[in-house]
Structure 1
Amino acid sequence: MQRNILLFFLVLSSLKLIAQPVPAVDENIPHLVTFGKEGDKAWGDNDFTQIIFYSVPKDHTEPIYIRVFDPDVGGTVDEQKGEWDSRMKYSIYGGEGACSNDDAKKINLSGNFKSGTLLGTKSFTENERYDGKWYTFGPFNPTEGEYLPDYGGYIIKVVIEGVDGDDGNLYRLFMSQLPTENQQVEGAFAFYFRYKFRLHDDVNEISHIYPFIDENVLAIKQTNFDWDNDGFIRIISVAKNGEFLKVSGDNDWSESLHEVHPNEKNTSYDIQLIKKKTAKIKSNNVVIFLKNQYDELMPFYSVPIGGIPKYKYSIGIKP
């Protein structure tokens, strides 16, 4: 798709200093989640692998670092099942194919989702040294990433795998200019094609994810896993004022099709995840992804490109 020029300038115009945490501040999501490979899928992780991409502008020449909060599997943040017996592997990739390889976007475990050049890797088990603390990978030269103008610059891929055990690893990421603190890289942002995360326990908290609807998208098909019937998911856009997505139950998949209004082209969707007030479901882990009418996966962005969409009554359609 010819998205690069429009996307690049829209990203630059919408970036904030909070663009590089994953989950992002605007998303209001507590943690990413990945279980050990012997985990029970009914706990909210369908394949025990997560892939996050970072885009670094071509004109950024200083070293970058990938930082992981609470990288170990144990302690107060993570989700225990029996004994702490899990091992989590974090790997950083750049070079040709890191993002352009379709297996990486699909998380095709039987394919080459570890495409590209390995830049760094480390595995963690239960370890108080890393519990509730940051671990830093790098430094990396931005040019070690895969250069893709369609995605705004040099792309660095972070692969998180549950290689042993059955516990849940809850963690966060940050791309930084410094190894010892989180300092944003100007113009950088994150994106992801299959998003796996923990919802808030507080029923009053609303989480958000932000896909961009480019000029070629006519319809989206959303798929979610293990929502546990924990409330509802809706779309807010310039033309949709709360169109509902079909939600899944426990250890279940659900999907629904949604047409794109012409005025939604080249804007973001605000997909809101709203918990049921009465259910009070705790520790709910969810998987969600989108495809366009060509059956291509669509990325979510750590910042809503063009800004958080506001419904315009003059062009709206009935929800």
Structure 2
Amino acid sequence: MKSKFIPQMDSVIKCIEDNDVFVVTSHVSPDGDNIGSTLGMHRFLEKIGKKVYHVLDDDIPSNLVFLSKEVEKITSTELNEENYVMLALDCGDEKRICTSDDVKRNASVRVCIDHHASNDASFCEINYIDSKASSTCELVYNIIRRYGDLKSEDYIDEVIASRLYTGLSTDTGNFQYSSTAPSSFEMAKVLLEHGAERDMIIQKLYQSNSPNYYRLLGDALNTLSIAEAPNGQLVASICVSIDMMKKHSIGYNDIDGITTYTRDIENVEVGIFLKEKRKGEIKISLRSKNDIDVSKIAMQFNGGGHVRAAGCTINDTIENAEKIIKERVLRAF
């Protein structure tokens, strides 16, 4: 393996070899890369004889539950270990790590494996951060391959392959997004050769939405609002309230797929999806096609992410949050 990140990988590997107990966790509002990278690492650590806990104080989206059937997810209050390493995967910000402050603080060592451009590598002692990687699953894949090279053994099995393929698929938009690189296809090739269940993964991720999801989507699309930037490009926004989710019995973590509808409109450069987590707390997802770095916009609201995909939170009504974020986006043109 040739990579300028080998020293970072080796620092993670040394930490793994030097310790016996690990907590693997990720960010709030889990997604495919979150769950895929966390559980891919979980399986790898178990294979090499480590004790591992999957700690996440949030619900796994229904379309990703298939990945976690063989792994017990516990909450922070259920963790009863005193000496452990915390592996924070796919987290660009300490505040987004989905555990209690006690779990973060009590770790003997904290390791960050991440690909967010907004990650300043300041909240963990050991870091492997590559903002150009397609996904955190790709970084976990690199670590496992590097470890295998060092031990002259292949550690990727069908379970690891399927978990990592899931995150690779979701974070590249099934190989549509600009984050997709030659290494993404090479990784997909290797994972498929190792038994990744591609057809099942695609069905679970993209072809298994409930009827109620589409009923909610219909209501959400009725909120579509489009504004024109000074250069003639468009900004689109869609809002989903708590009442809309309750009406259709849809969970907060099960509607992120609506985000793409804001961007996938002709002449729209930036799409904005707003969803109400609770009254006065609005989660905002930003997506761009070409020229606008939405991570810089998200960072203005203590959020972050990638150039083409980022997020933040605004504490206000959903109506006011839409006005605030749209005004800030239009300033970026």
- Please say whether Structure 1 and Structure 2 have the same fold, judged by a TM-score greater than 0.5: no
TM-score normalised by length of structure 2:
0.27
User: Which entry has the higher C-alpha Rg, 1 or 2?
Assistant: 2
The structure carrying a bigger helix percent of its residues is 2
Greater RCO (CA < 8 Å, at least 6 residues apart): 1
